[in-house]
Each structure stands twice: as C-alpha cells, then as structure tokens.
Structure 1
Amino acid sequence: MVVMEQVPTAERSSGRAVAVAAYAVLFVLGLVMGLLGAFQHSWYLRPTTVPVSAFGCVLALFAVCYGAGRMMGGKLAALAAASGWLVMTMVWLSGRQEGDVIIAADLSGYIYLYGGMVAALTAVLVTPTSHGGSWLLTRH
C-alpha cells in the first residue's frame, strides 16, 4: 500500500506562485537578451569580417534557454526564455515609418535571427523533462 503525503493548500498555492514568478522572470530574461542582442549582434572581427558577436549572441541564447530548462526541470522554462527573445526580436524586425530597422539584412543579422531561432528551438527540444519537479520548488 502506498501512502501519499497530503500537501496543504497554502503550500501548493504558494508553490504555484513561485513557479509562475520564475517563468515570468525567464520570459523577461529572454526579452533582455533580445534587446541587447539586437543592438550588439553586428560586431565584426576585422579584416576577415566574421560577425563574432552574432555567434556569441546565438550561443548565449542557447545556453540560457537550455540552462533554464535544466534548472527548472522542464521544457516550459526553456520555452519561456526563448519566447521572450522571440517577442523582442520580432519587435526589432518590424520597420518604422522612417524606414529604420534594428536588425539589418546583412550577414550578422541573418546569423543572429536564424541562428537564434535554431538555437532556441534546439534548446527547447534537447532539454530533458524531469518528473522530479523544479529545483526551485523542491524541499531540501
């Protein structure tokens, strides 16, 4: 016979509040990464014109999304950070009346945009789902 421990309702609701807050913070982290990456992705290594910062932004996005998923114990955390980055990136891709765009159609822009999308998707897909729950919500 398996005895299941009953968790009080107050603890359960506070655990949900902490989880929602953690996912919201990860979404905001994705927004910040999209903000910083949009303005910093076009640094080139001269004289070979390799956009090193675009590659760095893509690697950082993968690391944050994958790390968030591993720490929170599920794909939803990786998706929260990735979706924040995607929302901010789409804002910067939209043109303005003046004709300005933040992410230009050059090599660094393509690496940042398409590489970031591949990195975010890959991080979400390779994040393992642990059934033990989040490190944030478990008792130690």
Structure 2
Amino acid sequence: MQVEIWHNPACGTSRNTLALIRHVGIEPTIIEYLRDPPDKQRLRDAIAAAGIGVRDAIRDKQPEYRALGLDDPSLSDDALLDAMIATPVLINRPFVFTPMGARLCRPDSSLVLDILPPCDRPFAKEDGEVVIDANGQRVR
C-alpha cells in the first residue's frame, strides 16, 4: 500500500502517527514538509481530500499566526494558503494519504487507523497511551 505522511520529527503527534503506520507493516513515503513544503495546489488538494477547511489545516497556536494577522476572519482561503506555503510551520500536521483516503491526524494520531488496513496487534503511543489494546481492539 502506498502511504505518504507530511511529517515533522519534532512533533509527538506526527511521530506517533508514523509509528502507527509502521506498526501495521507499511513503510510510508515521508515528506518533511518544513524542509520540502507542498505547493499551493497540492496543499489545497490535501485539505479537500481530508474533508476539512483551510482554517482547520492551519496551526493557529503558532506565534506566526497572529504576527501575520491570520486571525482576521475576513481573510480568504487563498490568503491563508499563501501564508502556509510561505511559512510552512503554519501547516497543521501530520497529513496522511493512502488509497483509503486522506486525514489530518491532529489532534489524535489514531485517526490514521481509519485509512490503514486493520491491525490486531497491541500498540501504545510514546507516552504510554494505549491505542490498540491486548485484544486487538482500537481504544477510543
């Protein structure tokens, strides 16, 4: 299965999502989007594929969000996309793409399980939180 993740190795949610992908036996294509950001159309397509809005895909807790005036509700999606491309740290992460769909796996890395083959082996996040229990059941 072809899987791509827009990954930030410094982000726990991104690391847990990557670990879940690998746990089901898939080695994904890893795009470190801070170093290699998508172009505007690819970002627009990713947001649409994930079924979310542009404001859902922007990291509004980043200092750059307010510094750039992105909290202005009158800004267009195009203006927000331009800001995200110019300042990739504003792109929420991780985005994951599989033949089964696309997801922004924030705030919960286990959202990636919706677009991966089933897995019945136990898994816990790096902080110890159980995602798949000893019976192979997803913990919600």
Taking structure 1 as the reference length, the TM-score comes to: 0.24
Q: Which has the larger radius of gyration?
A: 1
Higher relative contact order (CA 8 A, sep 6+): 1
Taking structure 2 as the reference length, the TM-score comes to: 0.24
